[in-house]
């Protein structure tokens, strides 16, 4: 079903504003805002903006036979193929249901050759500087999980290091 023109405009405006805010956050103009808030399943993550390149709605994903369930396949992003993994599934959670809130975060070029991760939703720019460190969380956490924080609403946010995810042997060895 085609999107209404107004919905596409609002989505386009939102993405344009978010990309501009990400660009400003990478510069010294907004030093306090350095993280992008995303969700995978029930978990809230803080991504370092220097590790992310682009945010997009999931396009046509072409599956690759004989790969892990969390490897969603290949997607054409601006004329280049990127491999896409389901971040929740990669972490051992149920696979993400792709819907209107789902987004693919393309990893910065220096991290992994043309890769992206699917998240349930993008929650906007965040700063952990105003949050309290949550010392009760972290036992048994994956290597790519960083410090956990509690925001003003007592919601837990955990830093997610995309560079460390790409170093996990499973990330590039997606075959079964």
- Does the structure show a pLDDT above 50 at 38? yes
Cβ(94)–Cβ(1) below 8 Å: no
Burial of 139 (0-12, 13-18, 19+ CB in 10 A): exposed
Q: What does the block give as tokens for 79?
A: 């004329």
Residue 131 DSSP symbol: S
Interacting residues of 95 by C-beta distance below 8 A, sequence separation 6+: 69, 70, 86, 88, 89
Q: Mean pLDDT throughout 122-128?
A: 91
Lowest mean pLDDT among 22-36, 43-57, 79-93: 22-36
Q: What does the block give as tokens for 136?
A: 């009760």
Interacting residues of 105 by C-beta distance below 8 A, sequence separation 6+: 36, 38, 47, 52, 54, 55, 116, 117, 119, 122, 162
Q: Sorting pLDDT into bands at 50, 70 and 90, what band is 25?
A: low
Taken in order 137, 144, 31, 51, the sign of the CA dihedral is negative
What is the separation of C-alpha 51 from the centre of its chain, rounded to a whole number of angstroms? 10
3-state class of 11 per DSSP? helix
Residue 109: give the domain boundaries: 5-172
Looking at residue 161, which CATH number applies to its domain?
2.40.50.180
How much is the pTM? 0.77
- Does the structure show a pLDDT above 90 at 143? no
Lowest mean pLDDT among 2-16, 30-44, 50-64, 121-135: 2-16
Q: Where are the beta strands (DSSP E) in 35-153?
A: 35-40, 43-48, 52-56, 61-62, 71-77, 80-86, 103-107, 115-119, 121-126, 132-133, 145-150
Residue 130 DSSP symbol: G
- Does the structure show a pLDDT above 80 at 24? no
Q: What does the block give as tokens for 9?
A: 């405009």
Q: What does the block give as tokens for 172?
A: 């590039």
Q: For the chain, what is the domain count?
A: 1
Q: How far is CA 149 from CA 97, 98, 128, 169, in A?
A: 26, 27, 7, 28
């Amino acid at each position: 079903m085609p999107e209404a023109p107004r919905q596409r405009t609002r989505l386009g405006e939102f993405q344009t504003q978010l990309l501009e805010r990400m660009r400003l956050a990478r510069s010294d103009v907004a030093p306090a805002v350095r993280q992008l808030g995303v969700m995978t399943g029930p978990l809230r993550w803080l991504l370092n903006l220097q590790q992310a390149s682009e945010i997009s709605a999931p396009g046509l994903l072409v599956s690759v036979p004989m790969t892990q369930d969390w490897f969603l396949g290949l997607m054409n992003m601006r004329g280049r193929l990127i491999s896409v993994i389901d971040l929740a599934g990669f972490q051992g959670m149920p696979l993400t249901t792709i819907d209107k809130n789902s987004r693919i975060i393309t990893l910065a070029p220096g991290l992994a050759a043309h890769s992206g991760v699917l998240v349930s939703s993008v929650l906007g720019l965040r700063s952990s500087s105003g949050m309290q460190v949550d010392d009760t969380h972290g036992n048994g956490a994956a290597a790519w999980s960083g410090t956990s924080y509690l925001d003003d609403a007592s919601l837990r946010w955990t830093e997610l290091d995309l560079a460390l995810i790409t170093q996990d042997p499973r990330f590039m060895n997606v075959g079964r």
